[in-house]
Structure 1
Amino acid sequence: MLGLTTIGIIHTAISLVAVAAGIIGFFRDKEINPRTGLGRTYVWTTVLTCLTGFFIFQHGGFGKPHVLGIVTLIVLTVAWVAGSTGVFGRAGRYIETVSYSLTFFFHMIPGFTETLTRLPASGPVFSGPDDPTLQKVIGGVFLLFLVGAFAQVMRLRRLHKVGTPGAIPAA
């Protein structure tokens, strides 16, 4: 099926669950919140996406997608530490929120790349991962991430100033 191996199909299915959970979380909670069932689903399916991705070698061996998986796991760890310990002080809630959003952006890189270099099957939209137009698309998605991260930080600041229940605790 579109050149996917069995592990590739499993990996893709798991990643689609993560992306769906992330999108629903953004609309419902304005963030990926690991203290909700939806947020936990996002985090664990993202971890599984990374782990299954380490067994995919369609492009010859260890490469950029594997590095992205490692970086994603590191950022997930930073997000978890920021949200569940006091290591980052008052900045912890901000770091947590932006880090989870960053991992969502990371899903978009292989998501757009693999989808648009395979579909439509009769003539994919882009020639390959290094296609300059695809790079511009990924750059545009990164700009959306930056705008979204800024909006999330501003929302958290408003919650903190207002003292809304569930707001960022003062250090």
Structure 2
Amino acid sequence: MFGLSPLGAVHTAFALVALVAGYAMIVRQGRIDLPSTLGHTYLWCTIVTCLTAFGIFRHGGFNIAHGLAIVTLLTLGLVLVASRTRVFGGLAPYVETLGLTATLFFHMIPGLNETFTRVPAGAPLFTGPDDPALQKAIGAVFVIFAIGMALQAWRIRKGPVPKRQPGLA
């Protein structure tokens, strides 16, 4: 299937589950909610995606995708520290929320490259990681994520919406 090795197929399957879980939470809640079932699914599928990436060498040896897997794992480590300790103090909600959203963006970089250097079959959209059109697509996705992360930070700063009491206008 699209030239994937067995490890590549497992890697892709976990990445797709992570993406679906991550985007479902972003659409529903405006953030990835780590303690939820979908949050746990996102976390563990992202970890497996990163770990399996280290065994994939489609473009030769160690490359930017492997480096991105390391950055993603380090970011997830910071997210877990922020969610389970008081190390970051009042910045913890920002580190957790923005860190998880950043990892979703990190999924998109190799995802766009690997998908659209294969699809459509026989006439892929991009020739490889250095294709200027791919760089523009990643740049556009980055802008969308940067706007989304700014909105998330604003929502955290604004705080929870006070609940209305029944019978009050």
Query: Is 1:12–2:17 an aligned residue pair?
Result: no
Are residue 128 (structure 1) and residue 128 (structure 2) matched? yes
Which runs of no fewer than 5 residues in structure 1 stay unpaired?
A: 165-171
Residue 55 of structure 2 aligns to a residue in which SS?
coil
Give 5+ residue unaligned stretches, structure 2.
164-169
Matched, 1:138 2:100: no
1:51 match: 51
Give the count of matched residue pairs.
163
One-letter amino acid matched to 2:150? F
Number of the residue aligned with 1:41: 41
TM superposition score normalised by structure 2: 0.93
Which deviations, in whole Å up to 9, do the C-alpha atoms of 1:72-98 show, x marking residues without a partner?
Answer: 000001111112111011011111100
Residue type matched to 2:80 in 1? W
Identity of aligned residues (%): 50
1:85 partner letter: T
Q: Which residue of 2 aligns with 1:64?
A: 64
* Partner Cα separation in structure 1 for residue 157 and residue 162 of structure 2: 10
Deviation beyond 6 Å, 4+ runs, structure 1: none
Paired with 2:75 and 2:119, the residues of 1 have a C-alpha distance of 30
Q: How well do the aligned residues superpose, as a CA RMSD in angstroms?
A: 1.2
Name the TM-score, length of structure 1 as normaliser. 0.92
- Could you say which residue in structure 1 is the equivalent of 2:115? 115
Whole-angstrom CA distance in 2 between matches of 1:39 and 1:67: 24
Q: Distance in 2 between matches of 1:75 and 1:150?
A: 18
Letter of the structure 2 residue corresponding to residue 69 of structure 1:
A
Identify the residue that residue 76 of structure 1 maps to in structure 2.
76
